[in-house]
Structure 1
């Protein structure tokens, strides 16, 4: 059964344009080199200001761990992370299973 990882990054107030620029210019090109697991990126609007949200889909926990191990071993990703971390106040991750009804991403 597939698992979904919901990652929410709370961005320091006023720094979202910088975060978006880093992801657009460096973060996404680095992540795109790795197997495609991304469902989507989202930015917060009403009620969720200053949030960057990612949803990832993995075959299982072993697939998830192998993906992130490969990403974090990438020197280009580490260079990107060094720029983005000072702009992030907080991170939360949730692992979820899809409900047995309705559409499946």
Structure 2
């Protein structure tokens, strides 16, 4: 059964443009080299602002752990992460399972 990981990064106020630049120039090119598990990236417009939210879909927990292990072993991704982390206040991860009704990504 598929599992979903919802990651929410709270970006320091005034730093979203720098986060966006880093993702465009370094983060996304590094991520594209890895298995396609990303459902999407989102930013807040109303309500919770200064957040970067991303949703990932994995076959199971083993698939999830293998993906993150591969990503964290990638020097290009880790160079990006080293620049991103100082711009974040905190990170929240949620593991979710699809409800047994309705559409699923």
Normalising by the residue count of structure 2, what TM-score does the alignment of the two structures yield? Answer: 0.99
Q: Please name the residue that 1:58 is paired with.
A: 58
The equivalent residue for 1:93 is 93
Shift of 1:88: 0.3
Give unpaired runs (5+ residues) of structure 2. Answer: none
Whole-Å Cα distance in 1 between the matches of residues 30 and 48 of structure 2? 26
For 1:21 and 1:11, how far apart are their aligned partners in 2?
Answer: 13
Match of 2:2 in 1: 2
1:39 CA displacement: 0.2
Tell me the distance in 2 between the aligned counterparts of 1:35 and 1:58: 10
Long gaps (5+) in structure 1: none
Equivalent residue, structure 1, for 2:16:
16
Structure 1 residue 48: deviation in Å?
1.3
Local SS of the residue matching 1:55:
strand
* Runs of 4 or more consecutive aligned structure 1 residues displaced over 3 Å after TM superposition: none
Q: Give the corresponding residue for 1:80.
A: 80
Quick one: distance in 2 between partners of 1:79 and 1:100?
40
Give me the whole-angstrom Cα distance separating, in 2, the residues matched to 1:11 and 1:104. Answer: 28
The size of the alignment, in residue pairs, is 105
Instruction: State the alpha-carbon separation in 1 of the partners of residues 70 and 54 from structure 2.
Output: 18
Residue 7 of structure 1: CA displacement?
A: 0.1
